[in-house]
């Protein structure tokens, strides 16, 4: 509530900014009030919304601690610190049994739904301070951080088997069927390329070199198994209860946990974090779930997949197709429209071009309509019928394996969220949250891939989970920063990026306000090996009217992930083109190319690399 001339902040930010010591003292005072009282209302005496809330609690016979900010000597500063804690700038600002309710409207909505009465139960003895639903990277990070801060924590994790019957241990997608096995199989493919290059460097070997799929998968699964065990051990050391059961809300603050045998147990908690992640999407056509596999199945596949059709143009599709081709398999990618939607399209096409030059076939503008089994086996034979997206043409092909990589769906629809009123995007299944990862229900939070309009990356989920636990239980204020997050697509030639794509930068800043610097480059390691000198590519996008600040970083080349990570830190610090020019490169490396960028796209000059 703010009246004309009596703004919610009471004074300008410049004059009300306290020293860090004074702010910390106020923060402790606020948290002390919240911890020490059943209901706390941060109010202003003249505010009619505050009056309505006070009358509501009075009618319920509930005693409240009320702090009238307009009558408190530190009122303006209290409201400023309170805004940092709750992300709410207005009054009334209400806490019930340490749970932030929000303002007047949220409190009355909670009263009508029964949630307020549930929160007001005297001496509410919950089984746990926090229950995390989902034992992936983000959920485990949040749970362990909360336990370190002295809270009683449970993690519920249950892997629903894929249609092919594949399941896995604790750790989530990244560890079991994502980043970790993907990078290791990518490394297997890179070693094959290195073997080919090695002859030019003087290595002589006469025997035929072959790849053994079973040896690779067994070694990778053994490593994953050790990670599963280390996660369980870490939870045990921190006294986090781990329950291998499927969690589902049955009422406010209460969940049902169902194990593999169908046995049900009920648990209660003061707060919940949803970290259930996503699972691969299916096509909804004849034969897809019966005969196709996804990334859930590929990394533990007990036999070599043979001739493979990869359906999709996501980074998962291109990465899997890349390493399958790299270990010597016949691979085709069926693409409906564009490659790597959401990524810089110039870079995406360069990724696809490199893969095509190195043996991966592309079927563009086709979608599958049926998958039929011709022969059983390990692998068997499958016939795929597809139709053109541009006309009546249909095609058929026979493959040993069909891998679906058309996207992922959030695991949010069968966990009882509707029972307690957590809102989700009905179309995508994603959960909208505020900037402190709080859902529409005050005591329920969400992190990771299931968040609406947030990045689907493991390190993001880990960071968000840790910071959430620290805010909830450690009195900290830091929020997860979702801006300028680096990532890498581990295709045969890696693509690393940070910041905006050229398309997005043009949309946000307009083309005339941008300067794009770019060049092709030739890694020294490729020269003797006789590999192409006009494939690797570097590009930065600069905002001309913000000191040529780098707002987009893009690299196609060897070890792009390692290179991009360092430049991402520089972008966090406000990297400009001048700072790059002032930086002395390490020679000879791929990363040094960014310290010598001179040619702009607008100049139209040739960017071919001639020397070292």
Q: Which residues are tagged catalytic? A: 587
Cis before residue 379, ω within 30 degrees of 0?
A: yes
In this structure, are residues 277 and 372 in contact, taking their beta carbons and an 8 Å threshold? Answer: no
Alpha-carbon distance 217 to 126, whole Å? 44
Contact 172, 142 (CB under 8 A): no
| Cβ atoms 76, 11 nearer than 8 A | yes
Per-residue tokens: 311? 């359906």
Helix (H) or strand (E) holding 395: strand 394-399
195: left (phi over 0), alpha (psi -120 to 50) or beta: alpha
Bridge partners of residue 399, in order along the sequence: 382
DSSP state string for 445-509: EE-GGGBTTS---HHHHHHHHHHHHHHHHS--------SS--EEE-SSS-EEEEE--HHHHHHHH
How many Cα atoms sit within 13 Å of 291 on the Cβ side? 25
Distance CA 274, CA 441 (A): 12
> What's the CA gap between 333 and 351, in Å, rounded?
13
Question: Rounded distance, CA 224 to CA 190, Å?
Answer: 20
> In angstroms, what CA-CA distances link 145 with 68, 151, 157, 336?
34, 9, 17, 43
Omega before 92 within 30 of 0, i.e. cis: yes
Whole-number Å distance between alpha carbons of 228 and 292: 27
With b meaning 16 or more CB within 10 Å and e meaning fewer, what string describes 244-266?
A: bbbbbbeebbbbbbeeeeeeeee
Backbone angles phi, psi at 111, to 5 degrees: -65, -45
Q: Are strands 99-102 and 93-96 parallel, antiparallel or unpaired?
A: antiparallel
| Separation of alpha carbons 333 and 492, rounded Å | 14
Which residues lie below 8 Å from residue 407, measured CB to CB, with a gap of 6+?
Answer: 280, 281, 312, 314
CB 41 within 8 A of CB 65: yes
The single-letter DSSP state of residue 286 is B
Closest CA to 61 of 107, 122, 2: 122
Tokens read off for 607: 């960017």
Tell which phi-psi region holds residue 574, choosing left (phi > 0), alpha (psi between -120 and 50) or beta.
left
- Helices 213-237 and 137-148 cross at an angle (nearest 10°) of 20
CB 26 within 8 A of CB 77: yes
347, 518 in Cβ contact below 8 A?
no
State how far the Cα of 555 lies from the Cα of 177, in Å rounded to an integer: 26
């Amino acid at each position: 509530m703010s009246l004309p001339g009596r703004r919610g902040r009471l004074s300008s930010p410049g004059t009300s900014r306290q020293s860090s010591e004074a702010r910390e003292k106020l923060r402790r005072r606020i948290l002390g009030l919240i911890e020490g009282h059943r209901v706390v209302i941060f109010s202003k005496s003249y505010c009619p919304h505050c009056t309505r809330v006070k009358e509501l609690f009075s009618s319920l016979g509930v005693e409240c601690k009320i702090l009238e900010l307009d009558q408190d000597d530190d009122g303006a500063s209290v409201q400023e610190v309170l805004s940092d804690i709750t992300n709410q700038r207005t009054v009334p600002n209400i806490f019930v049994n340490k749970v932030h309710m929000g303002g007047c409207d949220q409190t009355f909505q909670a009263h009508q739904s029964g949630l307020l009465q549930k929160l007001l139960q005297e001496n509410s003895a919950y089984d746990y301070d926090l229950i995390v639903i989902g034992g992936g990277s983000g959920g485990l990070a949040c749970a362990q951080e909360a336990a370190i801060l002295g809270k009683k924590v449970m993690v519920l994790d249950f892997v629903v088997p894929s249609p092919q019957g594949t399941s896995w241990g604790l750790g989530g997608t990244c560890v079991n069927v994502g980043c970790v096995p993907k990078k290791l199989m990518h490394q297997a493919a890179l070693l094959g390329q290195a073997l080919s290059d090695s002859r030019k460097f003087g290595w002589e070997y006469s025997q035929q070199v072959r790849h053994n799929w079973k040896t690779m998968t067994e070694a990778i699964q053994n490593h994953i198994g050790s990670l599963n065990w280390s996660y369980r051990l870490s939870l045990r050391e921190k006294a986090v209860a781990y329950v291998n059961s499927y969690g589902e809300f049955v009422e406010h603050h209460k969940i049902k946990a169902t194990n593999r045998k169908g046995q049900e147990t009920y648990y209660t908690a003061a707060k919940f974090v949803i970290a259930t992640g996503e699972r691969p999407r299916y096509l909804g056509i004849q034969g897809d779930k019966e005969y196709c596999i996804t990334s859930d199945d590929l990394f533990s596949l007990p036999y070599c997949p043979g001739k493979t059709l990869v359906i999709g143009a996501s980074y998962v599709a291109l990465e899997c197709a890349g390493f399958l081709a790299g270990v010597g398999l016949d691979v085709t990618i069926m693409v409906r429209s564009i490659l790597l939607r959401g990524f810089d399209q110039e870079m995406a096409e360069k990724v696809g071009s490199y893969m095509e030059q190195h043996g991966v076939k592309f079927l563009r503008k086709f979608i599958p309509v049926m998958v039929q089994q011709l022969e059983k086996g390990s692998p068997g034979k499958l016939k795929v019928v597809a139709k053109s997206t541009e006309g009546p043409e249909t095609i058929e092909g026979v493959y040993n394996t069909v891998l679906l990589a058309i996207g992922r769906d959030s695991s949010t629809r069968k966990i009882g969220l509707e029972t307690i009123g957590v809102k989700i995007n009905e179309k995508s299944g994603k959960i909208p949250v505020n900037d402190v990862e709080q859902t529409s229900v005050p005591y329920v939070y969400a992190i990771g891939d299931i968040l609406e309009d947030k990045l689907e990356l493991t390190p993001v989920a880990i960071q968000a989970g840790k910071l959430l636990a620290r805010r909830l239980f450690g009195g900290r204020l830091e929020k997860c920063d979702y801006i300028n997050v680096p990532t890498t697509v581990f295709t045969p030639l890696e693509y690393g990026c940070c910041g905006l794509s050229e398309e997005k930068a043009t949309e946000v800043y307009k083309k005339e306000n941008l300067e794009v610097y770019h060049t092709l480059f030739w890694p020294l390691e490729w020269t003797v090996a006789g590999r192409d000198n006009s494939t690797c590519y570097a590009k930065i996008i600069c905002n001309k009217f913000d000191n040529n600040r780098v707002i987009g970083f893009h690299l196609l080349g060897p070890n792009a992930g390692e290179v991009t990570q360092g430049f991402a830190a520089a972008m966090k610090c406000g990297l400009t083109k001048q700072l790059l020019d002032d930086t002395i490169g390490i020679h000879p490396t791929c990363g040094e190319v960014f310290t010598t960028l001179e040619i702009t796209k607008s100049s139209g000059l040739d960017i071919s690399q001639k020397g070292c």
